A and B are shown apart, each in its own frame.
Chain A
Amino acid sequence: MAVLRFSIACLCLICLGGVLFILPGTAAMADPIVIEHERGTVTLDQPAKRVAVTNWAFAETLIALGLDPVAIADPADYRDWVAKPELPDDFIDLGQRGSPNMEALRKAKPDLILISQELEMAYENLSTVAPVMMLSVYDDGNVAFDAATGMLRKVARAIGREDAGAAYLRKVDAQLGEYGNRVRDILGPDGALTVASFYSEANIAVFGAPSLYGSVLVRMNVPLAYQGDVSKWGFARGGLEILAPLAKSTLVYTNPIPDVIHEKAWSSPIWKIMDFVRNNRVYELPVVWAYGGVPSGLRFAKLLTESLESGPVR
């Protein structure tokens, strides 16, 4: 704890020094940026330019705001699981998201590090490298898309691009509204949507309103069929039977889904009797990161609309 106290003291000293330096200084000098986050406040004398990200929601959010992160965790898997937006050409690979490499991080010389609660245990250690902001999109009681929007605003402030952030969010809102209209046209007046992931043929997740997919659908004004209990991560889980009460809705299943699981689930008599299977209301969604930020939310809306418009799977 001494380290923490020491670093807080240092931080205070630096702030104080900064204030003393600025007070008599020129008016052109900007005020320091103070942002609240889950472990207190972070104070930046100037907008962060070299930002290190420890998960993909931060990576895609920064890229959407027009700033390339200098250090990214798990970039190879990002390409398979998030796909868009594309990663920059040049950055430092931090290794796994669960334990970003401290030495690689130091090499990147970041002036801001972004983490979510799963790395809280490393907060003190990471703080020795650069100021750390802890912002969690996925947490108990959070509505993912709203939390992601809040996270985007804070990140935008930290990098001094609040205007760009606000403009991006306005654009997203408009696009979500438009995609929502197109989806509702296909679903019809009484239609509702169910989004499900197949972990295995007998272990299925159904996304609820707090999940990224669910909260985006709410923003799109598209009715979500599943309204029951969800876990901390915003979805419910069970065997094929959890789809039974939702059989009257339209089903969208996410990717990737291994062929074996696809085959086994589709050949089950329980699957075959579902109303959405009998009446051809099953659609496939390409890869979208389920634990993403605003860009993944927008990507979900776009791909969902395109999938519905191109017709059900046979």
Chain B
Amino acid sequence: MTITQPRSPAILTGVLGLLALTCLVIDFGPFLQRGLASQVMFTPDETDFDQILFHYSTLPRLAMAFLCGAGLALAGAAVQTVLRNPLASPTTLGVGAGVEFALTLFVLLAPASLAMFQEAFALAGGLIALGAVYLIAANRGNATLWLILAGMIVNLLLQSGSQIVLLFNEQYLQSIFMWGAGDLAQNGWESTQFVLPRVALGMLAILALSRPLDLLALGDDTAGSLGAKVTLLRLVILGLAVFITASVISAAGMIGFVGLAIPAALRIAGLSRSRDLMIYSVFTGGFALLVIDFVVRQFNGLGGDTLPTGAATALFGAPFIIFMLRKARIMPGSQSEDQHSDQQITSKTVLSVCLAITLVIGVAFSIFVSLDGTGFVLLAWNEGNLDIMTGRAERTFAAMICGAALAVSGTLIQRVGRNPLASPEITGVSSATALAMIIALAIFGFGQRAELMVIGALGGIISLIVLLLLCRKFTHAPHYMLLNGLALTAVLGAIVRIVLTRSGTQTSMLMSWLAGTTYFTSMDEVLIVAAVTGVLLIVAIALRRPLELASLGPEQSVSLGLGISGFQFAMMLLAAILAASATLLVGPLSFVGLMAPHLARVAGYRLAGGHLLGAVLIGVNVMMVAEWLARNMIYPAQLPTGLIAALIGTSYFLILAVRKR
């Protein structure tokens, strides 16, 4: 990143500009030939259908693509500069999810008379999300890393919220899914008229502030001593970036990746002054989205369906971002120390005993007590109720095993990666597993549980092999793994969004499986995953000594002359296998893998062996509670267990963050 190649940003922008121009020429082609280009742009012949269609559909779509791309890229550049974080963008910092949640709520709940407040509502959603991220990450040692992880947490919380709202408003799903996937189809200039002044205003303001931004880039102390009001400046610029993002998302839906990829690419190309970065971002972002949208439009009507631009952008952008960031080596370092005050809450022994007791009581409670819409019901122990007990036991155990597998997986990843907020999906293997299953299910029509299990397992194994091969080649394997995970998770998200827009009668089932549900599991599967988890847990505990050393500091691995040691890598593989097994069992549910090890550590389980066992105890307990709530809270309807677990976990982190203040 320090190597400056002054000409390459211009080349990048120029090439994209040429491509965009080619797209325009192709779109205008028929009218250019007849010499009608300016007529069709400004005063279309109201009796010529082709002209009307071009003037009110193609042209505004081109304009919107450019505007949205330009706005999002600028917002991304601003956020990255302000937070001095190359992985930050309005979407990774929760703003996208905040706006989405606010708008989903608004569309479903607000009466038509409040329509004029929609924009303010969306903006507030984005700002609150960003505020929460900032709150969690503030005053931490490695701010860069914490911001990304806090963004993940807040994204997850808000997405869970949106999903719960949607699960119970299925009738409006199709339009919300389409918007969530970022459809740029236009039939008039209305959206353009909405976005243009807002984005233009935001752009001008940010560009006007870009000189002080250069000061910010030097670091708070330097900037402060040079006379800039650091905090105020930060807030104003972040606010403007959120404003642009919220406007774009309200009008065009979720379009990710442009805000992350474009400024990052320009930086790698050698731009370091924020003013240049921003001006280049505006044009490069606009051209890029225009070209992507042009390509996406060519697929419209294929198989009788449309391809939403936003999701497609993420799909193509994800691999690109791995490539780019790997090259730049601007990943946060792995030497982060968990600096917040890890006070021991209570004695470990007392805690362990308590957790064990709640576990036993909880299992009994889960099997015998339920809610049936009127109140608590106690199941009598007799022959006739055996089926019901078996059913409850099956689901409770499935949730618990999943909690245990993810807890072990998360502990290994956090210790080996020396990263207190890493989570199992970082390896990307669980995302690959889920991806294989969802493609088989929704696109190729496989429906049998056993078939899907095999396909999912194959997906996981293939991604594991790819991971092995890739990590052998690169010296910065932990970073590479993290990027791999980020990209695969993003691809999964994009595919899920596309699949949901075309899911017909499958919608409700897909939504609950994607959020993580024990509904479809059987005892056989539970037993297999339990065996895998048990064996790997024993292996991990047996290796607790090297594990202890691996999490001490960077010296060991450096002494091997590599970014990662063979041992660390083996532990990551264990973690990946565990996460994939849990995904097979209940779907892509992984938050407990982040939370359980973290809680165990905070509670005082410091040594590797204790840490593993403590995390398992906590993970199992959390999942058991989530499972009971999911089955009973709104009987006879059920919520996906993963949604409840995610809500419990994210609420914990938010409360923790607020209490710290």
* Chain A residues in the interface with B (C-beta under 8 A): 1-3, 55, 77, 80-81, 92-99, 101-104, 106, 116-125, 128-129, 138-140, 199-203, 208, 228-233, 235-242, 244, 247, 256, 258-261, 264-265, 267-271, 273, 291
Contact = CB atoms under 8 A, between A and B. Distances in A.
B638 A99 contact: yes
B508 interface: yes
A208 B303 CA distance: 12
Contact of A2 (B178, B388, B524): B524
B523 A237 contact: no
B449 A238 contact: no
- Interface centre among A92, A117, A261, by most B CB within 10 Å? A117
Given A202-B183, A240-B57, A268 B505 contact: no
Given A200-B179, A229-B303, A235-B304, A122 B187 contact: no
Q: What DSSP secondary structure best describes chain A's contact surface?
A: mixed
Nearest to B444: A140
B183 A99 contact: no
B171 A102 contact: no
Contacts of B561: none
Given A199-B175, A270-B53, A229 B301 contact: yes
A270 B52 contact: yes
Nearest to B47: A273
Given A95-B636, A233-B504, 15 more contacts: A1-B450, A3-B524, A101-B637, A119-B509, A121-B513, A121-B520, A128-B391, A202-B187, A231-B305, A233-B502, A239-B57, A241-B187, A258-B172, A268-B56, A269-B187
Given A123-B449, A259-B112, A98 B507 contact: yes
B387 interface: yes
Given A55-B505, A122-B519, A96 B638 contact: yes
Given A98-B509, A202-B183, A203-B183, A268 B304 contact: no
B5 interface: no
A161 to B, nearest CB: 25
B512 A244 contact: no
A80 B172 CA distance: 13
22 contacts: A3-B522, A81-B171, A96-B167, A98-B509, A99-B517, A99-B519, A102-B391, A103-B392, A120-B448, A123-B448, A203-B175, A208-B304, A229-B303, A232-B504, A236-B305, A238-B306, A239-B306, A241-B187, A260-B112, A269-B55, A270-B56, A291-B504
A126 to B, nearest CB: 10
Contacts of A201: 187
A206 B635 CA distance: 37
A285 to B, nearest CB: 16
A99 B509 contact: yes
Given A99-B519, A122-B520, A128-B387, A236 B301 contact: yes
Contacts of A264: 190
A115 to B, nearest CB: 10
A101 B302 contact: no
B276 interface: no
Contacts of A208: 304
Given A1-B450, A230-B304, A231-B303, A95 B502 contact: no
- Please provide the 3 A-B residue pairs with the shortest distance between their CB atoms, ordered closest to farther: A98-B508, A120-B447, A236-B304
B557 to A, nearest CB: 43
Nearest to A129: B387
- Interface centre among B302, B387, B636, by most A CB within 10 Å? B636
B637 A273 contact: no
A106 B301 CA distance: 45
Interface residues of B, number: 62
A123 B2 CA distance: 59
B554 interface: no
A237 B52 contact: no
Interface in B165-191: 167, 170-172, 174-175, 178-179, 183, 185-188, 190
Contacts of A199: 174-175, 178
Given A81-B171, A241-B53, A244-B49, A95 B304 contact: no
Interface string B136-167: 00000000000000000000000000000001
A273 B509 CA distance: 41
B300 interface: yes
Contacts of B370: 103
B304 A228 contact: yes
A124 B53 contact: no
- Interface centre among A3, A93, A273, by most B CB within 10 Å? A273
B505 A138 contact: yes
A116 B524 contact: no
A95 B175 contact: no
Contacts of B522: 3, 124-125
B205 to A, nearest CB: 30
Contacts of A261: 175
Nearest to B511: A98
B399 interface: no
B354 to A, nearest CB: 30
A34 to B, nearest CB: 22
B53 A101 contact: no
Contacts of B112: 259-260
Nearest to B634: A95
Given A138-B504, A138-B505, A200 B175 contact: yes
Contacts of A265: 187
Contacts of A228: 301, 304
A237 B637 contact: no
B628 to A, nearest CB: 13
Interface in B614-651: 635-638
B636 A104 contact: yes
A251 B134 CA distance: 52
A121 B448 contact: yes
A77 B351 CA distance: 46
Interface in B51-97: 52-53, 55-57
Contacts of B53: 241, 244, 270
A140 B508 contact: no
B422 interface: no
Contacts of A128: 387, 391
Interface string B294-338: 000000111111100000000000000000000000000000000
B637 A242 contact: no
A256 B170 CA distance: 13
B445 interface: yes
B105 to A, nearest CB: 15
Contacts of B636: 92-95, 101, 103-104
